[in-house]
Amino acid sequence: MDTRKLATFIDLAQTCNYSRTAENIFSTQATVSKYIMALEKDWGVTLFTRDHRTVTLTKAGAAILPSVKTLIQAEQRLLQTIDQQINQTDPTLVIKGIPTISRYQAFQLIFQFNQQHPEINLKFSEAETNQLMASLDDGRADIVFTRLFEKPQAEYAVLGEERDYFVALMSRDNSLAQQTALTVQDLAHEPFLLLDGATNVLAPVMQTLEQAGVVPQIVYEGRRVDLILEMLNQKMGVSIMMNHSFDLAGYENVVAVPIHPKQYSQLAFIKRQANQSESVRLFWQFIQEN
């Protein structure tokens, strides 16, 4: 049984909101809906009633919920036991991070830890942001480094104080490029080049635009920062990204202007509370001390 679907069911039962659950599990509303419908099909019951934007747990859903929570807790204990057995003979630490991790202090901390603890087999890799939490949940990662716009659920431990904020990117020839700060309303009539949902940035950007009453004309949506920068360099539209998620070296025609009011994200290491392996404990202690 796919425990990601079960965890989504538990979260939606708490939030009763597809958008909020999508943010909590670092995914999309479409994925949340797909997971819930798959469970309903497999189990032959209706878990939620849906009325416009209102989501309500059904009687059947409420009856099933405690057993699902027990399953998730049992899986966490199983993963913890497996980690303990593995680390008794081969202490391994698997860390996954966002593709732009090299632009943050976390990148240096990981390799400083590796130098101080050569006895631990460190396995580090990048992954798309929307895959990171799933890798924690299914045991493919011990710790992830990711971007947070909201506090995660209580089953996760979070460590990190780095912050980043949104800026508008555009060609130097754009009339807005001379401003020291912009509002999202200033960008209302510009064509947008945006990072897609896999980067975990699209949802907060769209939410910010929607709250400002801006309906964006999106001409590109993808996950390649370099491609967006090249299009901006060729005077194509504007983009919104986190200030430290790009490098303008080689893109002399592109400028970044802060967006006010500033909207911050937190860059943090995350682990499951249930993961108490010695390798994880040592890394967590190292980050706290540095």
Query: pLDDT (tens digit, 9 = 90+) per residue, 12-54?
Result: 998 888 888 887 777 788 888 999 999 999 999 999 998 766 7
Q: Are residues 28 and 107 in the same domain?
A: no
Asked if residue 234 and residue 207 are part of one domain, the reply reads yes
The string of pLDDT tens digits covering residues 129-160 is: 878 888 888 888 999 999 888 877 778 899 98
Considering 78, 98, 128, which residue would you say is the last residue of a domain? 78
Q: How confident is the model at residue 228, as a pLDDT?
A: 95
- Work out the angle between the directed axes of helices 3-15 and 59-89 (0-180°, nearest 10): 130
134 vs 193, which has greater pLDDT? Answer: 193
What is the pLDDT, as a whole number, of residue 88?
59
Are residues 126 and 37 located together in one domain of the fold?
no
180 lies in the same domain as 200: yes
pLDDT band at 115 (very low <50, low <70, confident <90, very high): very high
Report the length, in residues, of the chain. 290
Confidence of residue 89 (pLDDT cuts 50, 70, 90): low
- The yes-or-no verdict on residue 86 having pLDDT over 70 is no
As a whole number, mean pLDDT of residues 164-188 equals: 95
CATH number of the domain enclosing 187: 3.40.190.10
Distances (CA, A) of 98 to 107, 178, 223: 10, 31, 12
- Does 119 lie in the same domain as 95? yes
What whole-number distance in Å separates Cα of residue 90 and Cα of residue 84?
A: 10
The span from the CA of 254 to the CA of 249, in Å, is 10
Tokens of 288: 């706290």
Q: Which residue has the tokens 């989501």?
A: 55
73: CATH = 1.10.10.10
Q: Which residues of 29-52 are buried (b: 16+ CB within 10 A; e: fewer)?
A: bebbbebbeebbeeeeeebbeeee
d(CA 99, CA 127): 6
Nearest to 85 by CA among 266, 228, 282, 278: 278
CA distance linking residue 219 with residue 81, whole number of Å: 49
Looking at the fold, whether 59 and 30 belong to one and the same domain comes out as yes
Q: 151 and 176 share a domain?
A: no
178 CB burial (10 A radius; 0-12, 13-18, 19+): exposed
Does residue 194 share a domain with residue 231? yes
pLDDT value of position 21: 85
Q: Which residues, listed in sequence order, are joined to residue 132 by a DSSP beta bridge?
A: none
Are 107 and 101 within 8 A, CB to CB? yes
The verdict on whether omega for the bond into residue 258 sits within 30 degrees of 0, i.e. cis, is no
Residues 180 and 250 in one domain: yes
Same domain, 245 and 173: yes
Tell me: pLDDT of 2 over 80.
Answer: no
Question: Whole-prediction pTM value?
Answer: 0.66
Q: Are residues 241 and 274 in the same domain?
A: no
Q: Are residues 147 and 271 in the same domain?
A: yes
Nearest to 285 by CA among 262, 269, 266, 263: 269
**Domain interval for residue 41:** 3-78
Instruction: Tell me how many domains the chain contains.
Output: 3
Instruction: Report which DSSP code applies to 151.
Output: P
